[in-house]
Every structure is written in structure tokens, then in C-alpha cells.
Structure 1
Amino acid sequence: MKAKILITPKSFANYKDSVYPDIVCQGYEIIENRLGRTMTGEEIVELASEEVVGIIIGIDPLPAGVLRRCKDLRAVSKYGMGTDNIDLDAARELNIEVQIAAGTNNVSVAEHTIGLLFAAARRIPKNVAEVKLGHWERMMGIELTGKTIGVVGGGQIGREVAIRAKGIGMRVLLYDPFLQADAEAYLTSNGIRRIEQLEELLAQSDAVSLHVPYTPNTKHLINAETINRMKHGAMLINTSRGELVDEEVLYEALLVNRISAAAQDVFSVEPPEIGNKLVGLDNFFLTSHTGAYTKDAVERMATVSTRNLLEMLGRTTERRL
């Protein structure tokens, strides 16, 4: 029997002609997600409990229980950057290699972030909706030039956002207690100021943009206390993970204009329930987790995640010989 590779991301098939031959050439049989949606853990187990040695995973869940039931699994290649849907501790325990597709979607997400920033500053979604209803009323917005943006998270995406914000004339503050060794050169060359305390960044920023992974430590990073630290009337942008924001607290803050607007590409439950009160607010804008969904990024993610998986499987095969 041929060893198999499971591919779960729905958009991956758009580039099958360029990447599938590489997989087949290595002797693997391909199993696709044909459900037209994100798979559940049980659905993954149904396809991958035996003979599947590698998985290219999107946002589908790979908790410890699923990983343990995939008996022949040796490598997981993330189609993207975030790994919060993968139990990394269980993967290490089971000797399953995991690798992300680094550097593939950071530009797309950063551009989407800046787009949401403009949408919030100029109330573009509300204005467009009103015009479509036949209402020709001007809506007051604000300029971004000269304003301060606080970027929370100095990884690849956060850095790209910071550079673009500088390009439109904003003052950029960056908070990340885990900045890598090359950070000082990056900060100096781009005129970005590092802030040591999150509270200080929140207090100085006209807009706050989140670019950190979801972990137990970052859950509800934006909560009643941190919102109270923000400038009155500041804007919040979140293209990272919905769980970073306490949505009940955000709703109350937007309702009284403590925060003037919030724009997100992520939500705690995706899609949100019909009639969700936060989504219904005029000053809350939500896109459908589409930040990384550009032709350019998807093609790069398909290529890199395939290459990563084949390299991992090659290493694990050599170790077993």
C-alpha cells in the first residue's frame, strides 16, 4: 500500500497542477478534503487513522486526541503561519514534525490590516452601505497621517504592518516582549519606536493593531482593563485571532464610543451567529478571515507547505532507515 498524504485546505486544490506532481513523484497517494468546508477532528481521523504519513493542514483542528489516532502520521505542514489549531506538545511527544509556511502570507495580511485601518478611519463600510440604500449623506472621518498606531506583536506580519503605517505618515510604536535578535536594526532603519510595556503603547495609540498568536497568555488580551488604558476614541484592528479580544467588553466599549471603531478579520466563533449583537454595530466591521486569502499568498502557501512536508518526510524516512 502507498503511503498517503492528506490535504485539508479548500483553496489548495486551485494549485494542484503545480504542486501535486511533486507529491506523486515521491510515491505518495493524495487524499483531499472534498467537504467544501473546514474538517472536524473526527473527519480527519476517518481519513488519516492509518497509512497517512503527512498532513497539509489549514485551520482544521489537530488536537492531541486526533494526532494520537493518526497512527502512521510523521509530519504536519501548516498551510499558513498560525499553529493554535495544532497541539504542538502532543506532536513532540508523538515525534510528529510540524512546520509553518513562513514568509508566505505576511504581506497579504499586512495589506488587509491597513485596508481595515482606512475602513475604520473613514467609515467606508457604513458609507457604502448607506449609498446603496439611496442615502447621500457625508460621514465624518479622520486622517491617519500624523496619528499614532500601536502594533502589538513584532513578528513577520506585525513588522510589515509597521512599515506600511510609516509609509502613510503614521507614528509607529511596537510592543513585543519576545522580539528576535535582529529587531534593533529593523526598528532603527524604519524609524519605529519599541515600547516596553503594553499599557504605555495603549495609552499613546490612536489605533491599536493586534499581531500575536492565540495562547493562554494572550486570551482576551483586549479586555475591560486594557480598553480602559486605551485613548478615548481609539480604533482597534485585529487580523490575528478572535480569541484575543473579549467581545462582550468590546461591544460595550463600542456602544458608548469608548472605542470609536473596531475592524476585525477574525472572530471567536467563525462564522458568527446570525444576529450577533457585536457584528450588528455600525462601528464594528468584520471580514471573513480573508486576510491571507490572495492569489499571491495562496499560491506561495501551497508551494511552501508542500515543499516543507516533503522535506520533513524525507528526514523522518532517513531516520527510520
Structure 2
Amino acid sequence: MGLNVLVTPRSFAAHSSEPLDLLSDGGLTVLRNPHGRIMAKEEMIAHIAEADAVIVGVDPLDREVLEKAPRLKVIAKYGVGTDNIDMRFAQERGIKVTTTAGANTEAVADYAFALMLAAARRVLPIDKACREGDWTKRTAVDVNGRTLGLIGLGQIGKAVVRRAQGFGMRVLAYDAVRDEAFASAAGVRYAESVDDLLREADFVSLHVPLTEETRHMIGERELRLMKPTAVLINTARGGLVEENALCEALKNGTIWGAGIDVFEKEPPDNPELLSLDRLVIGSHCAASTVQAVDKMGVMASKQVLNHLQQLNGVETE
């Protein structure tokens, strides 16, 4: 019986055949997502039954889905966030879970900074007004020389720091695990608490995983701690921000603006968010560059092959 790999991300091998070639040359039959979108739970159950491996984006891989995948041996996350995967049950089943950590670091950091600039300088409402013949000058806020607060100082957070240095920004960070060597070398100061960071920062960018501890870590109380000229950026996970509270804060001018690439449900449940000119919206696309997509695809394919070959006693590079 041959080995099958289910591939759900729509961008997989979109710009290069190398990820697919690796799987095919390794003797795997590739089963593609036929829906052209994120699959629902029932669709995942239908397609995963014959899979020995899965390369997955944000499609659901909870216990109910995994129970319908008796042959599954490895899950390669096409990205880094594993909140759509029942990690505990995967471990119980002996299913290997990998991520493509590092493949999209620079792309996400670029996009975080793009959202920061767009929200601060009101790029979208100015563009919209100009297209309608309104050449009125709109006053915005500076990015250069201001204070950036990073909640999470992992690989992506550190990449954002490098960009902030070019804008002469002061950088505050909060992380449960401190990298004192990096902070010292990069001139980053650690805040004693998230609240302290929110009070001091002009820009707040989130770079933490979604867990029970971080879910809705930014809500009404936290938004009120921020400056009225502050900007919130989220390229991490939608569940980190309580969206109705953010909507009210933007409507009321509690904060200056926000750049949000990720929502709890995509598109968001609250349609009012889509009408706010203080909000720059992304479609969970921070990692979607040609270069990052190619890297993630190749890395995920190699992880699948390596694990399956190791199980079969085949030496891998």
C-alpha cells in the first residue's frame, strides 16, 4: 500500500514545483485540498481518512478529525501556530507534529511593520479620499523615534526589532522567557509587566502563540491602558484580541488605530470592523510572499519525508 499525504494550504507549491516534486520523488501520493479555501471539519474528516501524513494550514485538526485518520503518522504545520491542532491527542497517538519555524519570519516582520506604518499614517483613508477627488491633507502620527512595545520576543519579534532600529525607535518587550543577550545587543528594554508595556508604548505588536493564557489578552481594560495616539498590531493569532472591545476602542478614539491580519473567525463575525477607517485589515496574509511560501513548502515536504522514511528505516539527509 502506497503512502498518501494530504496537503491543505492553497498556496502550497503555487510559485515553485519543488515542494510537490520532493513529495512525488519520495514516493508519496499527494491529495490536494479541492475546495479552494480553508476546509471545514466535515471536509477534513472526509479527506484525511486515507492520509499517512498531512501538510496543514489553519484547517481544523482537532480530536474528532484525528480520530478519523487511523493511518496518520506526521502533521507538518505550514507555519508555526499549532492552535488548530489537538497537540495532546496527537501525542497520545504518537503522531509527529512539526512546524516551519523560521521560514516566514522576515515576511511576517515586514507585514507587521507595513501595518504599523499604514495605521499610523492613515494610508488607506487618505488613498480612498484621493481616489474620490478629496485632496485634503490629513494629520497623522510619527513612527520614527517613538516607542515600540513587543509582546513576545521570539524570532519574529526580533526581526521586527531590526526593522524598528532603522526608524530610530525605542523598543520595549515583554516575554515570559527573556533573551538578555539579544536585548542587550539590540538595545531592547524588558517591561516588568504587559500593563507597563501598554502604558508606555506608542505601538504595540503581538508575537505570541494562542493559548488559554493568552486568549483575549488584549481586551477593553488593556486597550484603555494604551495611549490615545497608540497603534495595535496583530499578525500572530486572532484570539489574542477581543474584537468587539477593539471595535469600540477604535470607534471612540481610545487608541489611534490598529493593523490586524488575524481574526478569531475569518472573515470576522463583527461586520462593523470592516467599516472602520482606523483599522487596516489583512486576510491572514502576513506570511504570504513568494519567497516565504516557497520556503514553507519545501520545509514541510522535507519534514514529512524525513519522518516517514525514518519510520521505514531509511536513512535521510
Q: Normalised by the shorter chain, which TM-score bucket?
A: over 0.9
Structure 1 position 13, deviation (Å): 3.5
The answer as to 2:308 corresponding to 1:313 is yes
What is the one-letter code of the residue matched to 2:192? Answer: E
Q: Which residue of structure 2 aligns with residue 217 of structure 1? A: 213
More displaced stretch, 226-235 vs 291-300: 226-235
The answer as to 2:271 corresponding to 1:276 is yes
What is the one-letter code of the residue matched to 1:134? Answer: G
Q: Distance in 1 between matches of 2:256 and 2:16?
A: 44
Q: Which residue of structure 2 aligns with residue 169 of structure 1? A: 168
What is the one-letter code of the residue matched to 1:156? Answer: Q
Kindly report which structure 2 residues correspond to 1:32-181, keeping only aligned pairs within 5 A, or say none. 32-50=32-50, 52-179=51-178
Q: Secondary structure at the match of 1:59?
A: coil
Q: Distance in 2 between matches of 1:15 and 1:121?
A: 33
The answer as to 2:258 corresponding to 1:262 is yes
Structure 1 position 39, deviation (Å): 1.2
1:237–1:264: 8 Å Cα contact kept in structure 2?
yes
Q: Distance in 2 between matches of 1:44 and 1:59?
A: 11
- Give deviations 1:262-287, integer Å, cap 9, x for gaps: 111111210135x8112211211111
The answer as to 2:184 corresponding to 1:185 is no
- Give deviations 1:127-174, integer Å, cap 9, x for gaps: 001111111111101221111010001111111112211221110001
- Give deviations 1:23-47, integer Å, cap 9, x for gaps: 2222221111121111122212212
The answer as to 2:6 corresponding to 1:6 is yes
1:173–1:195: 8 Å Cα contact kept in structure 2?
yes
Of all paired residues, the percent bearing the same amino acid is 39
Q: Secondary structure at the match of 1:315?
A: helix
Q: Which residue of structure 1 aligns with residue 237 of structure 2? A: 241
Aligned CA-pair RMSD: 1.5
Structure 1 position 16, deviation (Å): 5.8
Structure 1 position 317, deviation (Å): 2.9
Gaps of 5+ in 2: none
Q: Which residue of structure 2 aligns with residue 31 of structure 1? A: 31
2:119–2:258: 8 Å Cα contact kept in structure 1?
yes
Q: Distance in 2 between matches of 1:312 and 1:154?
A: 30
4+ long deviations beyond 6 Å: none
1:116–1:237: 8 Å Cα contact kept in structure 2?
yes
Q: Distance in 2 between matches of 1:16 and 1:64?
A: 33
Q: Distance in 1 between matches of 2:192 and 2:246?
A: 25
Q: Distance in 2 between matches of 1:105 and 1:18?
A: 17
- Give deviations 1:40-83, integer Å, cap 9, x for gaps: 22212212213x21001111110011111100000000111111
The answer as to 2:286 corresponding to 1:291 is yes
Q: Distance in 1 between matches of 2:66 and 2:53?
A: 11
1:292–1:298: 8 Å Cα contact kept in structure 2?
yes
Q: Which residue of structure 1 aligns with residue 17 of structure 2? A: 17
2:16–2:294: 8 Å Cα contact kept in structure 1?
no
Q: Distance in 2 between matches of 1:16 and 1:118?
A: 31
Q: Which residue of structure 1 aligns with residue 297 of structure 2? A: 302
TM-score relative to the length of structure 2: 0.95
- Give deviations 1:72-121, integer Å, cap 9, x for gaps: 00000011111111110110011000000011001001000101111111
Q: Secondary structure at the match of 1:259?
A: coil
What is the one-letter code of the residue matched to 1:194? Answer: Y
Gaps of 5+ in 1: none
Task: Give the length in aligned residue pairs.
Answer: 314
More displaced stretch, 133-142 vs 222-231: 222-231
2:104–2:293: 8 Å Cα contact kept in structure 1?
yes
